[in-house]
């Protein structure tokens, strides 16, 4: 890193802690160190690829900054005269970033991410209970009665199925969300 001044650990820690102070998750960011004289320090939000990058000017005239997003445009460029001004700009960038991250989170990227309609639990439970009751109770009872009464299996099973369908239709006609 010949020619590039290293960033003091306390300054890097201050930048890193500002992420959580802004209500964002530090784990969602990457930190890149400069690798040559013209390179910059860079903080990148992984999912959106938005970034804040800076370096100390080689002539000591300030801190050139580039960031995305800006307040009212995609990319901002400027130079801050001292570290305090750069830190203030960084914190402001985090507020712009948070707005954009929340906006990205609010818009589904594909149909698979759209909310799905769900059948209310009570309605589904009624249908499941009735189906289970038919299979576990009514059909074995029908076979037992067939043996006892000598009624044909087809007639008795048909009667049980017709009754089950009628009750199922009555339950379903109450529809989702009904509490009766």
What is the SS3 assignment for the chain?
CCCCCCCCHHHHHHHHHHHHHCCCCHHHEEEECCCCCCCCEEEEECCCCCEEEECCCCCCCCEEEEEECCCCCCCEEEEECCHHHHHHHHHHHHHHHHHHHHHHHHCCCCHHHCCCCCCCHHHHHHHHHHHHHHHHHHHHHHHHHHHHHCCCHHHHHHHHHHHHHHHHHHHHHHCCCCCC
Give the pLDDT of residue 28. 94
Residuewise pLDDT in 10s, the chain (180 residues): 444 577 889 999 999 999 999 999 999 999 998 877 667 889 999 999 999 999 888 777 888 888 888 777 788 788 888 889 999 999 999 999 999 888 877 776 665 555 555 555 665 666 667 667 666 666 676 666 666 666 665 666 667 667 766 766 666 566 555 555
Residue 34: per-residue pLDDT:
83
pTM above 0.75, yes or no: no
Q: Could you tell me the two tokens for 17? A: 């802690």
Phi, psi of 64 (to 5 degrees): -65, 135
């Amino acid at each position: 890193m010949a020619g590039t001044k290293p960033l003091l650990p306390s300054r890097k820690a201050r930048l890193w802690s500002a992420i959580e102070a802004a209500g964002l998750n530090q784990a969602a960011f990457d930190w890149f160190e400069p690798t040559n004289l013209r390179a910059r320090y860079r903080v990148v939000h992984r999912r959106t690829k938005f970034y804040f990058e800076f370096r100390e000017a080689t002539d000591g005239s300030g801190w050139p900054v580039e960031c995305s997003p800006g307040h009212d445009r995609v990319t901002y460029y400027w130079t801050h005269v001292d570290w305090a001004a750069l830190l203030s700009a960084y914190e402001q960038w985090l507020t712009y970033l948070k707005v954009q991250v929340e906006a990205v989170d609010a818009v589904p990227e594909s149909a698979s991410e759209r909310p799905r309609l769900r059948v209310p639990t009570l309605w589904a439970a009624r249908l499941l209970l009735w189906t289970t009751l038919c299979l576990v109770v009514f059909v074995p009872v029908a076979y037992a009665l067939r043996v006892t009464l000598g009624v044909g299996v087809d007639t008795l099973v048909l009667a049980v199925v017709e009754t089950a369908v009628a009750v199922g239709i009555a339950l379903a006609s109450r529809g989702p969300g009904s509490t009766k």
